[in-house]
């Protein structure tokens, strides 16, 4: 089948189109396959919020929940069994994509968000989830908290591919890239192969605008600054990516078979209805990137999206935007700290909701 022209153009520009959603219904109905066939989708990301919505709103999980209830498994085991099954099936569906383009065809599964500040527990669960799903085109999602950074290094050193999530600041993004390179270096030092190891760094966009816009309003700043910081911040992240992945340190790893950790633009659904519904795609087009989109945003770009200024030509303007935001009185360090804390908490809340839903379903079907 023919691919949508707008999304095909995006792919040709070097942006991998991923879907930020997964459910058993989406897999079984053929919807995910159709998005691959007709809308250039070459990857899938998930998070606790996505699974909470999928499981609570569908009967597709009833048979498995009944079987788990009969076996009297714990809620935690049931939760991991259910989510791993969906991710495994999605990995199998995308396996031909992964074979054709090894960096893509990936599906992400997140460690329990309550472990975000526990390095050892995060690394241990990452290894367990990798074993549980048992598919080479899996990504384990690990949050970019301070405790998450050494867990990323350890997980990469163990030969496990990682999607680093909840990145908001350039400073933390540089630390994430360092964690990835350190993991590769550790694996090489221990005699391991770098074959098959991949990573993406999920840099969040729209949430940055939501928080900064609120502060700009409070400061009485020029309204023209609103809706600019999220994109500018991400554009400067790509500049940092280009710097790190052209360094001598990187070249030494590349010579041993390493592949770059691609920037992934996350949180690309527009929160403010006054903004263009495709802005977090159009203004973030650059080679070697991933844009993971909610289906609504994906379809909007398919319908009327068009490329904006290439990211590499935006660095000077992006730096000026971020400086103007600082000059308006916005404490960016505090913004990024709040966004990370809120991001972790939102996923913890969704995980708790998901746990409560599965517990209730197990009790009903016992």
Query: Coil, helix or strand for 57?
Result: coil
What Cα–Cα distance (Å) separates residue 92 from each residue in 43, 85, 225, 335?
12, 11, 44, 39
Query: Coil, helix or strand for 253?
Result: helix
User: Which candidate in 141, 214, 228, 346 is catalytic?
Assistant: 141
What residues contact residue 28 under an 8 Å CB cut-off, 6+ apart?
60
CA torsion angle 203 206 212 213 (round to 10): 170
Read out DSSP for 192-209?
Answer: ---TT--EEEEEE-HHHH
- Interatomic CA distance for residues 329 and 215, integer angstroms: 9
Query: Coil, helix or strand for 32?
Result: helix
- Interatomic CA distance for residues 16 and 1, integer angstroms: 19
Q: Is the dihedral of CA 238, 231, 271, 331 positive or negative?
A: positive
The DSSP output letter for 112 is P
- Interatomic CA distance for residues 128 and 114, integer angstroms: 16
Residue 48's φ and ψ, nearest 5 degrees, are -60, -35
Tell me the two tokens of residue 77.
């085991």
Helices (H) and strands (E) in the chain, counts: 17, 8
The residue among 115, 199, 194, 191 whose CA lies nearest residue 162 is 199
- Interatomic CA distance for residues 331 and 82, integer angstroms: 42
To the nearest 10 degrees (0 to 180), the angle between helices 75-93 and 332-365 is 110
Cβ burial of 335 (10 Å; 0-12, 13-18, 19+) is buried
Active site residue 214: no
Q: How many CA atoms lie within 13 A of 255 on its CB side?
A: 7
* Residues designated catalytic: 141
């Amino acid at each position: 089948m023919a691919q949508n022209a707008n999304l095909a153009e995006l792919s040709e520009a070097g942006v991998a189109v991923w879907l930020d959603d997964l459910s058993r219904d989406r897999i079984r109905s053929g919807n995910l396959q159709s998005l691959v066939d007709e809308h250039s989708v070459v990857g899938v990301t998930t998070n606790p919020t996505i699974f909470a919505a999928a499981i609570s709103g569908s009967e597709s999980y009833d048979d498995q929940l009944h079987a788990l209830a009969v076996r009297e498994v714990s809620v935690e085991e049931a939760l991991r069994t259910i989510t791993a099954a969906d991710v495994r099936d999605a990995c199998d569906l995308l396996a031909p994509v992964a074979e054709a383009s090894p960096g893509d065809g990936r599906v992400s599964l997140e460690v329990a968000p309550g472990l975000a500040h526990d390095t050892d527990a995060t690394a241990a669960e990452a290894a367990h989830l990798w074993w549980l799903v048992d598919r080479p085109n899996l990504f384990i999602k690990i949050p970019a908290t301070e405790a998450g950074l050494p867990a990323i290094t350890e997980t990469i050193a163990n030969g496990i591919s990682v999607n680093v999530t909840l990145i908001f600041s350039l400073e933390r993004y540089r630390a994430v890239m360092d964690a990835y390179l350190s993991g590769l270096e550790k694996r090489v030092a221990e005699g391991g192969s770098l074959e098959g190891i991949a990573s993406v760094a999920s840099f969040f966009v729209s949430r940055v605008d939501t928080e900064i816009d609120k502060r700009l309003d409070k400061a009485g700043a020029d309204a023209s600054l609103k809706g600019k910081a999220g994109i500018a911040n991400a554009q400067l992240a790509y500049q940092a990516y280009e710097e790190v992945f052209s360094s001598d340190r990187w070249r030494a790893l590349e010579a041993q078979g390493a592949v770059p950790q691609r920037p992934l633009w996350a949180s690309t659904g527009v929160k403010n209805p006054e903004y263009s519904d495709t802005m977090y795609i159009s203004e973030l087009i650059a080679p070697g990137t991933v844009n993971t989109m909610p289906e609504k945003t994906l379809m909007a770009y398919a319908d009327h999206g068009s490329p904006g200024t290439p990211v590499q030509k935006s660095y000077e303007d992006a730096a000026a935007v971020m400086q103007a935001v600082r000059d308006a009185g916005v404490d960016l360090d505090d913004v990024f700290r709040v966004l990370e804390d809120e991001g972790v908490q939102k996923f913890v809340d969704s995980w708790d909701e998901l746990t409560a839903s599965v517990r209730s379903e197990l009790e009903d079907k016992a």
